[in-house]
Structure formats: structure tokens, C-alpha cells
């Protein structure tokens, strides 16, 4: 009797389970029927994504051919004549480019070599961040382009495929491919795409061909390589500032000789007849006031001067100082800038009491004005007229007067002033030597600020503001 009850009870449980399973099966079937269209849509969407990804990968050769035109190799020698090489790329058709700060930091006489073999040089340093910060420098070169790289506006993710173009060990425009493996310190993109010596400063792309980073370093013997997140670099601000402050360069003045020489942080127009420049132009921004290197009195011949520059022996025993026109005191933010400031092409014979007195005071005043401005553009030079005295074997002319032309930018406002000082010791105040830019132009025969709109140029040059 007990066994029959057990059997009956067991049968009921099994029957109930079967019925329940059938009901669930039916519900599942109905649910599947309802979701058939949706499943097909999801399947199709995933298939489309795979096809797009496949198409992007297959398109990499044509992407490379297009993008490599805006990537270049940077090369030169440091102060010890050791070859340094890196990469960089174009971010604006006007000739604005970007690379790592550490690539340019110790470079001397650097050149920019494009994919077609043409070489150019840097005419202006627009903004720099030291290696401890974001390790980038934005600069302008002496050409324009009909192409530039597009900066990505979207956030990247771990696992995204990426590729880089650079010149590892001098092998120009080499493509490497990998994926994002992590993000570090809110500024670095960790990748497994190879970054070797010479690749630093090149672009890191997403698979759309948009720049997402600046390749910067790698750990040898591993797949751990890094790029600076391009979204952390204030590129938009720089373009906005340049638009607001006019697109001026160091070539903003006429040259009576046509021998214009570009160094990393200043440009000059050289006059062979008097073995010195008629003008030296440089830019100052508040960031440049942070002293990073000490003065080094390493005066040297400037081999960029085709006719040959003055020499140290020209000044030896002359009784005149080798007076800086682009001052060493304004170049202490960079070892390259400091080294370049001691080219003999940047020197002019100055009376010691003048060079170490009122001229030095004016240089300090200019740096003081820089601290309260967005930027200053400065042109210094001698008045190369009515010169009766020369020094040295190369007959370096001794000027009677020196000038400084200064244009200040602050909050969309532009001001200008000029100084004309006699080459002798003076106890007068700087205000006593204030004059208009027009007066300097008349004395020197040089037209300053030629790239300014005529109305602005005329307004700035006929009056002066003591900042």
C-alpha cells in the first residue's frame, strides 16, 4: 500500500514537470518567434560592424599613402656634434607642426625632411611643454601645405586598433600597427605598436586615420610603448590665439641684403659689409621666463652665414663687448636657445658701459613686460649708417646707435613701442629713449611688421605705448 502511494506520487511529480516544461517550452518558442526580427537585426548590425572593421583594415595601405605626406623626419646634431633624430607631423596647412619636446630640446641646426625628400627649417616656436609635463612642442616651418592631419574628436578605448607612422632609426615613414592596451596617468596611451629610436614625435592614428596621440617612448625588449594623448595638448587654444593675435612670424620685416638666417628661437638678417645683423627677431611668452639653464659663454662662428660670420678674434683686444641682440638672458628656458644665442651672427660691437648698463636694463624691462602679456615680439639691431670705425680682420662695423622694436599682445589688444639708444654709457632713464617705429624705419631703411594689415601697421608705428 505504501509502495503504491509512492509510485502514484512520483508519477504526479513527473507529469507536473513535463507539463511545466512544455509550458515553458511554448513560452520560449513564442518569445523566439517574437524576437526573430530583432535577432536578425542584431546579427546584421554585428556583421556590418565586422565588415566596416575589415574594410578599414583593408584600407590601411591607401590611408598610409595619404597620411605619410604630413609626417616628416627631424634631424640635426647636438652641442657635442652627436646626431639626433626624431619624427613630427603637420597639424595645420599654414605650416604648423608638432613633435616631442625631447626631440628638439638639444637639437642644433635641425632640419625637417618630408616624404618627398624636400627639407625645411623651423621659423617659430609657438608653444612648448617640458618632458615632465606633456613632452610636446608646436612650431612653424618655412613652407605651407595643401594637406594636414586631422585630430580625432572621439575618445579611444582599450582594445582599439591603432597604427603609427615614424622614422625609427632613420628609416623614414615606417608604419607599425597594434592596439591600445591601457591608459596611464591621464595623459599616456599604452600601445603594443612598435616605437623605436627615431619614431618619437610621430603620429598615432585610430583606424579612421585620425590622430589620437604623439608617439613618445617605449621599453626596450617589450611591447610596452607609449604615446601622449593628443586630447591633452591645447591645440585648439593655440589656433584660436594665433587667429586673435595675427599670423606673424620672425620674417615679419624686410631685409636689405636678402640673407635671412633662421635659428630655433630667433631669426636674423645678416649684413656682410659690416659682419653683423641689421635685425634679430625673437618671440617671448611668459613660459619662457622660467630659467632652466645657466648662461654659457660659448661664442662660435655661425656657419649658416654663407659669406662667413665675424669671429672671436675680431673682437679680441678691441675694447668692445660682443653684445647680444637676441639676449642670452631671454634664452635660459632651453639649452638649444641658449647655445644658439652665442652665434657670432647675433653679436654687435658695443661699448662695455652701454652693453652692461642701459642696454642690459632694457633687456630686463622687456622680460618684465613679457610676464604681463600673452606674448611679445621683439626686434633688436644696430643702425648701420654713418659707420666710420671697424674692428678686427673682418672689419666689423661699430654702430653709433642701437634700437629695439617691441609689439605686445594682451587680451586681443596690440601695443607697440621702440627705443633708440646711442652706443655709449648712459645714466638716463629708458623713457628718454622712447620713439616711434616709424622713426626707426626711417633711420634703418627697414620696414617692420610688413605682414600686419596696413591699418594696424600704420596705427602701431606712428605712436608708442610705454607698457
- Annotation says 253 is catalytic: no
Q: Specify the DSSP element, H or E, that contains 52.
A: helix 2-58
Select which of 102, 253, 263, 324 is catalytic.
324
How far, in Å, CA of 140 to CA of 96, rounded? Answer: 4
Give SS3 for 69. helix
What are the cell numbers at 455?
A: 591699418
CA angle at residue 101 from 98 to 106, to 5 degrees? 120
Cβ within 8 Å of residue 227, ≥6 positions away: 164, 188, 189, 191, 195, 204, 212, 213, 214, 215, 216
Q: For the chain, what's the residue count?
A: 467
Q: Where are the alpha helices (DSSP H) in 85-164?
A: 101-104
Cβ within 8 Å of residue 374, ≥6 positions away: 241, 245, 285, 409, 410, 411
Task: Pick left, alpha or beta for residue 128 (phi over 0 → left; psi -120 to 50 → alpha; otherwise beta).
Answer: beta
* Closest by Cα among 430, 431, 448 to 439: 448
What are the cell numbers at 317?
A: 683686444
The single residue listed with the C-alpha cell 632609426 is 169
Active site residues: 324
Amino acid at each position: 500500500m505504501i509502495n503504491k502511494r509512492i509510485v502514484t506520487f512520483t508519477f504526479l511529480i513527473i507529469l507536473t514537470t513535463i507539463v511545466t516544461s512544455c509550458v515553458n517550452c511554448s513560452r520560449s518558442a513564442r518569445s523566439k518567434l517574437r524576437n526573430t526580427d530583432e535577432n536578425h537585426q542584431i546579427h546584421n548590425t554585428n556583421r556590418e560592424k565586422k565588415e566596416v572593421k575589415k574594410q578599414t583594415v583593408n584600407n590601411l595601405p591607401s590611408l598610409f599613402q595619404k597620411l605619410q605626406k604630413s609626417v616628416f623626419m627631424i634631424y640635426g646634431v647636438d652641442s657635442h656634434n652627436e646626431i639626433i633624430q626624431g619624427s613630427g607631423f603637420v597639424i595645420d596647412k599654414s605650416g604648423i607642426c608638432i613633435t616631442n619636446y625631447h626631440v628638439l630640446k638639444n637639437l642644433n641646426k635641425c632640419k625637417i625632411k618630408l616624404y618627398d625628400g624636400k627639407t625645411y627649417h623651423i621659423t617659430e616656436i609657438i608653444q612648448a611643454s617640458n618632458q615632465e609635463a606633456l613632452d610636446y612642442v608646436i612650431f612653424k616651418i618655412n613652407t605651407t601645405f595643401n594637406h594636414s592631419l586631422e585630430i580625432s574628436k572621439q575618445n579611444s578605448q582599450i582594445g582599439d586598433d591603432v597604427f603609427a607612422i615614424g622614422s625609427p632609426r632613420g628609416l623614414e615613414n615606417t608604419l607599425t600597427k597594434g592596439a591600445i592596451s591601457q591608459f596611464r596617468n591621464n595623459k599616456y596611451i599604452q600601445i603594443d605598436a612598435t616605437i623605436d629610436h627615431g619614431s618619437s614625435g610621430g603620429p598615432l592614428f585610430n583606424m579612421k586615420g585620425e590622430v589620437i596621440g604623439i608617439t613618445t617612448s617605449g621599453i626596450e625588449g617589450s611591447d610596452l610603448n607609449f604615446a601622449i594623448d593628443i586630447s591633452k595638448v591645447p591645440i585648439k587654444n593655440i589656433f584660436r590665439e594665433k587667429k586673435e593675435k595675427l599670423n606673424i612670424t620672425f620674417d615679419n620685416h624686410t631685409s636689405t641684403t636678402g640673407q635671412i638666417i633662421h635659428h630655433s628661437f630667433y631669426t636674423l638678417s645678416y649684413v656682410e659689409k659690416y659682419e653683423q645683423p641689421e635685425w634679430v627677431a625673437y618671440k617671448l611668452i611668459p613660459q619662457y621666463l622660467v630659467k632652466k639653464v645657466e648662461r654659457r659663454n660659448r661664442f662660435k662662428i655661425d656657419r649658416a652665414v654663407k659669406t662667413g660670420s665675424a669671429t672671436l678674434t675680431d673682437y679680441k683686444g678691441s675694447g668692445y663687448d660682443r653684445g647680444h641682440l637676441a639676449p642670452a638672458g631671454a634664452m635660459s628656458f632651453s639649452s638649444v636657445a641658449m647655445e644658439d644665442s652665442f652665434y657670432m651672427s647675433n653679436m654687435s660691437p658695443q661699448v662695455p658701459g652701454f652693453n652692461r648698463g642701459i642696454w642690459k636694463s632694457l633687456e630686463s624691462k622687456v622680460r618684465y613686460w613679457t610676464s604681463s602679456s600673452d606674448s611679445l615680439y621683439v626686434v633688436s639691431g644696430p643702425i648701420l649708417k654713418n659707420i666710420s670705425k671697424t674692428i678686427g680682420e673682418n672689419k666689423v662695423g661699430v654702430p653709433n646707435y642701437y634700437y629695439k622694436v617691441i609689439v605686445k599682445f594682451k587680451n586681443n589688444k596690440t601695443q607697440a613701442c621702440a627705443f633708440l639708444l646711442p652706443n655709449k654709457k648712459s645714466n638716463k632713464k629708458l623713457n628718454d629713449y622712447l620713439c616711434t617705429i616709424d622713426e626707426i624705419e626711417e633711420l634703418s631703411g627697414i620696414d617692420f611688421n610688413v605682414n600686419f594689415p596696413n591699418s594696424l601697421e600704420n596705427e602701431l608705428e606712428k605712436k608708442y605705448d610705454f607698457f
